[in-house]
Amino acid sequence: MSKVCELTGKKAMVGNNVSHAMNKTKRRFEANLFKKRFYIPEEDKWVTLKVSTSALKTINKIGISAALKKARTNGLLK
């Protein structure tokens, strides 16, 4: 299972750990993802999505139906 938000497309970024001596080693900044169930009243069913915290805030603001529609237009959902 990939670590990618299904609504926003957020995924891990790559950066450096920097020590006091300025030595640099590669590290990953993972996306803050949660598995969450949502009820869609138009389709009368529950769906489970892996979403980031920013996607949860968007869902709270515009609603799950509008967020799914926006993700479909951006090509993130089928």
Q: What is the 3-state secondary structure (H, E, C) of the chain?
A: CCCCCCCCCCCCEEEEEECCCCCEEEEEECCCEEEEEEEECCCCEEEEEEEEHHHHHHHHHHCHHHHHHHHHHCCCCC
Residue 52 within any structural domain of the chain: yes
pTM: 0.82
Question: What is the extent of the structural domain holding 30?
Answer: 13-73
The per-residue pLDDT for range 27-77, each reduced to its tens digit, is 999 999 999 999 999 999 999 999 999 999 999 999 999 999 999 999 988
- pLDDT of amino acid 67: 94
- Number of domain units in the chain: 1
User: Do the domain assignments include residue 38?
Assistant: yes
Tell me if 53 is assigned to some domain: yes
Helix axes 64-73, 53-62, angle to 10 degrees: 120
Backbone angles phi, psi at 4, to 5 degrees: -130, 135
Q: Is 2 within the bounds of a domain?
A: no
**Would you say residue 3 lies in a domain?**
no
